């Protein structure tokens, strides 16, 4: 069951049974950014924790495909394909080429966003250490969720959309530029997803993967355009199901807001448990929320009972999905090193007892730190070997960070995270880890320190 959930969640966040799973594929410093890629949050969290970059890209592609089913994009697919001439070609090969160039136009707009987000990840990572920034991000995601639930519309002026849709004319040049413009026209519905992806990519700091991630998202977004343009197929007419899709994305945004606030709400991080009962409770809440009306009902319904059911369904679904995510982020009881929190006291005790000291600098916003926690520090061999160390963790998470913690980090001449330092019993630093390493390599380092 856990593997099934990881399939849904290797992404923070998104939820109607199957469509919900698809949504979940979307859904979390002093100058710090992880040298190795791990997550978010949060939602590609599990995929990246397992090092499954290919699977994460599949989820991103599905996210793009899901975005193409929103009211901002879906209704204009057939019209747009007709504008750049894919349906008037003499051969399927030419139609496929035109459609491919159109999709590359979409990618030409999105890919630089991923590269920019990754290259500026250090700045973003530093910002994530501020509770104020986290609250602002949570408010932003809640506002985006409100737009998805119909509180207000994000849209471009119709005149501008019509003008953009005809830029370039027919042919390859026209198809490319219409693709670029199509990405702009779709902005009201891609905004929430792109905003989340930008945030996620920025936390990873991996430039190559950031660019690839947004390129793959663009391919997903353009897939239906390519199919219609190449094979001249007719898509189902727009209908209520498009609004259901917006509700799914609304749920995604609310869960993302909860994710960013998780460190700032006292006791919230202590609730998730890595137990079958906790997972089953989360799944039951999610299913119940959908059944109550989280997706298929509307806040615009004239009946008060429908609006109340919608609200109750949203709250229940968010609680359920958050619980399922929490299950994956939590460690099984006893499957981790028990860290001390007082650095000076731990260092003094280690020196007095001539025991090696293990210092871990960690933070909830650090992807590779969380990967170390879930894959390496939870390995039974590491836990056993750690018993001969004095282990201490310097936590730089929001709400726990302090000038003293930053000063300790600076004393190691390290600007970013992750950082794990091994000290010999004499107090001398013996080795350090500055990126995610597999348990076998980490165990080898531990055994070499006495």
Give CA separation, 72 vs 158, 183, 223, 274, 450, in Å: 12, 10, 15, 39, 62
CA dist 212 and 36 (Å) reads 16
pLDDT of residue 154: 54
Q: Is 415 exposed, middle or buried (0-12, 13-18, 19+ CB in 10 A)?
A: middle
pLDDT of residue 90: 66
pLDDT per position in the chain (450 positions), as tens?
343 333 333 333 333 333 333 333 333 333 233 332 333 334 444 454 444 567 778 888 988 888 887 766 776 676 666 655 555 566 778 888 888 888 898 888 888 877 876 676 555 555 655 677 778 878 877 887 887 787 766 554 555 445 544 554 556 777 787 788 777 767 656 766 776 677 667 666 667 778 888 899 999 998 988 888 788 666 566 667 767 877 887 887 788 888 778 777 777 777 888 888 999 999 999 999 999 999 989 888 889 999 999 999 999 999 999 998 888 777 766 667 889 999 999 999 999 999 999 999 988 777 678 788 888 888 889 999 999 999 999 998 877 888 899 899 989 987 778 899 999 998 899 999 988 888 999 999 999 998
The closest of 412, 449, 432, 327 to 372, measured between CA atoms, is: 432
pLDDT of residue 375: 83
What the chain holds in terms of domains, given with CATH numbers, is 2-329 (no CATH), 343-447 (3.40.30.10)
* Alpha carbon of residue 400 to chain centroid: 23
CA dist 370 and 3 (Å) reads 19
CA dist 322 and 314 (Å) reads 12
pLDDT of residue 80: 67
367 within 8 A of 418, measured Cβ to Cβ = no
The closest of 304, 276, 308, 275 to 293, measured between CA atoms, is: 308
pLDDT of residue 389: 95
pLDDT of residue 219: 92
pLDDT of residue 120: 63
Q: Which helix (H) or strand (E) holds 391?
A: strand 390-395
Tell me how crowded residue 94 is: count the other CB atoms within 10 A of its CB.
Answer: 15
pLDDT of residue 25: 35
């Amino acid at each position: 069951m856990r593997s099934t959930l990881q399939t849904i969640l290797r992404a923070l966040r998104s939820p109607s049974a199957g469509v919900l799973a698809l949504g979940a594929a979307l859904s979390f410093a002093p100058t710090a950014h992880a040298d190795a890629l791990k997550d978010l949050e949060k939602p590609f969290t599990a995929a990246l924790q397992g090092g499954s970059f290919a699977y994460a890209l599949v989820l991103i592609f599905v996210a793009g495909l899901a975005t193409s089913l929103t009211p901002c994009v879906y209704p204009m697919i057939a019209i747009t394909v007709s504008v750049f001439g894919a349906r008037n070609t003499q051969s399927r090969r030419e139609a496929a080429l035109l459609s491919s160039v159109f999709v590359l136009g979409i990618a030409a707009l999105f890919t630089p966003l991923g590269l920019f987000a990754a290259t500026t990840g250090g700045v973003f990572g530093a910002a994530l250490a501020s509770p104020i920034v986290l609250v602002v991000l949570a408010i932003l995601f809640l506002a985006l969720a409100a737009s998805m639930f119909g509180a207000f519309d994000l849209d471009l002026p119709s005149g501008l959309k019509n003008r953009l849709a005809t830029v370039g004319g027919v042919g390859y040049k026209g198809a490319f530029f219409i693709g670029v413009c199509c990405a702009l026209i779709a902005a009201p519905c891609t905004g929430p997803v792109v905003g989340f992806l930008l945030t996620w990519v920025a936390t990873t700091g991996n430039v190559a993967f950031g660019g690839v991630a947004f390129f793959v998202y663009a391919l997903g977004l353009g897939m239906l355009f390519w199919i219609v343009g190449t094979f001249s197929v007719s898509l189902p007419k727009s209908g209520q199901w498009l609004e259901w899709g917006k509700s799914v994305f609304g749920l995604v945004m609310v869960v993302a807001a909860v994710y960013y606030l998780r460190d700032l709400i006292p006791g919230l991080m202590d609730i998730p448990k890595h137990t079958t009962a906790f997972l089953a409770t989360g799944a039951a809440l999610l299913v119940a929320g959908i059944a109550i009306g989280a997706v298929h009902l509307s806040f615009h319904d004239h009946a008060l009972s429908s609006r109340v059911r919608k609200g109750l369904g949203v709250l229940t679904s968010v609680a359920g999905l958050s619980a399922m995510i929490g299950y994956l982020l939590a460690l099984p009881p006893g499957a981790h090193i028990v860290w001390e929190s007082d650095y000076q006291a731990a260092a003094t005790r280690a020196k007095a007892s001539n025991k090696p000291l293990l210092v871990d600098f960690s933070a909830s916003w650090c992807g590779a730190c969380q990967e170390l926690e879930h894959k390496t520090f939870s390995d039974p061999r590491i836990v056993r070997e750690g018993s001969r160390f004095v282990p201490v963790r310097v936590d730089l998470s929001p709400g726990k960070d302090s000038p003293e913690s930053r000063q300790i980090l600076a004393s190691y001449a390290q600007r970013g995270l992750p950082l794990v330092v091994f000290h010999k019993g004499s107090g001398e630093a013996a080795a350090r880890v500055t990126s995610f390493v597999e348990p076998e390599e980490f165990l080898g380092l531990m055994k070499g320190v006495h």
